[in-house]
Amino acid sequence: MLSEFKNHLNNNLPFLKESKLLIAVSGGIDSIVLLHLCKQANLDIALAHCNFNLRGKESDTDETFVLELGNTLNLEVFTQGFDTKDYAKAHKQSIQMAARELRYQWFEDLLRQLEFDYILTAHHADDNLETFLINLSRGTGLEGLTGIPEVKNTLVRPLLPFSRQELEDFANAKNISWREDASNLKTKYLRNKLRHEVIPILKGINPQILQNFQKSISYLQESQIIVNDRIDEVSDTILNIEGNAIQLDINAIQKLNNPKAYLYEILKDYGFTDWQDVVNLLNAQTGKYVVSQEWRLLKNRKQLVLTKLDILKDEFIEILDFDNLVDTFIGSISFTEVPEIEETDSNTIFVDKAQLKLPLIIRKKREGDTFVPFGMKGSKK
């Protein structure tokens, strides 16, 4: 496997040979094999180990194992302990998500502070298949089916072409020791259930499924590149940034074949889930909107306006002119000058323009405030 690993570096990741590398090492077989391969390939490496304090003495034993291995191989080792359960509770996350977030935040800190070039993790082909099946089961677009990227910014996964079996064979042939994490055997987690129950059945049906999967992933990744190029091209004609908002030209979107597909690709990173509601905004009345956890997409005449929700929760908003639609914490406000009062709905009021003095201030209520509700004669606190 060492020769195949070196060939893979030479052909696909040559920049690693001239870089200062930090390897994420849990103590499990995957990261230990990656460590030995990188060491034998003469890469410039150091080790980083996270102690999530989730398995009592076992967690501490893992840390000791990595420290001793680093000392044996004359490699620098960085360790960090985390109160993972407290972090997960405070941020309302699962333990797995909290551990992942803590892990990568620390890796990025090490990279920046100690001037490493890249972080290496030991994800392999079986991990990639598991991720594909997880995304497929939850529902995803093309990008979610392209698997784990081999290189993403400063994160590199040089074992992706290799199977778990190849790693085990290498470790056994070289008499390499590693730590076992008993939690990896618990099938209450979706990934473990796929690993231990579903994928063995698929391999029983077709022993070549992993090789065929890797070919399919390659095709999907190439398709994603084409899609990304097209979206970049279209975005130049559709998107406009105005202040804190991103504006999408509705007329330009509607001229495209399959506007829903384009909207998905343009807006997929903003957390929206009901894409039919997003598409319906194209023909909705001004003022209609949909929200995700962090964003709001608003129909404003001939535009869709994307704004971050925390911006809309500002303490007060100044209206400096009557020409533009204004996003507020209670909705949106637009102004239209008309020659006379007309019949309308409860969302519209008529005021004498001459009585409006700019700037207008919209703010949240304060203690002691009184106001006259629209349609009433008396004031109200």
Verify that 173 and 289 share a domain, yes or no: no
Verify that 65 and 8 share a domain, yes or no: yes
Residue 9 is predicted with a pLDDT of 96
CATH number at 86 reads 3.40.50.620
Verify that 131 and 245 share a domain, yes or no: no
Inside any domain, residue 229: no
Inside any domain, residue 370: no
Rounded distance, CA 2 to CA 38, Å? Answer: 9
Inside any domain, residue 292: yes
Verify that 326 and 306 share a domain, yes or no: no
Verify that 166 and 77 share a domain, yes or no: yes
Tally of structural domains, the chain: 3
CA distances from 84 to 55, 102, 201, 273, 318 (A): 11, 8, 34, 29, 43
Mean pLDDT for each 10-residue chunk of the chain (381 residues)?
94 95 95 96 95 89 94 95 91 89 94 94 95 90 90 95 95 93 79 92 94 94 93 91 85 92 91 89 87 87 85 62 67 79 77 78 73 65 57
Verify that 72 and 185 share a domain, yes or no: yes
Residue 324 is predicted with a pLDDT of 67
Residue 316 is predicted with a pLDDT of 59
Residue 187 is predicted with a pLDDT of 80
Residue 317 is predicted with a pLDDT of 65
Residue 252 is predicted with a pLDDT of 93
Q: Helix count (H) and strand count (E) of the chain?
A: 14, 15
CA distances from 103 to 97, 137, 321 (A): 10, 26, 48
Residue 319 is predicted with a pLDDT of 72
- What range defines the domain where residue 355 resides? 314-363
Q: Which alpha helices (DSSP H) does the chain contain, by range? A: 2-12, 29-40, 57-72, 84-90, 95-114, 125-138, 164-173, 190-193, 199-205, 209-238, 250-254, 259-267, 275-280, 309-312
Integer distance in angstroms from the first to the last C-alpha of the chain? 76
Inside any domain, residue 227: no
Rounded distance, CA 366 to CA 372, Å? Answer: 15
Verify that 148 and 247 share a domain, yes or no: no
Residue 344 is predicted with a pLDDT of 72
Verify that 271 and 216 share a domain, yes or no: no
Inside any domain, residue 226: no
Kindly tell me the burial class for residue 355, based on how many C-beta atoms sit within 10 Å of its own C-beta (0-12, 13-18, 19 or more): exposed
Residue 163 carries which side chain, given as an amino acid letter?
S
Of 165, 187, 220, which one is at a domain's C-terminal end?
220
CATH number at 240 reads 3.30.465.60
Rounded distance, CA 286 to CA 298, Å? Answer: 8
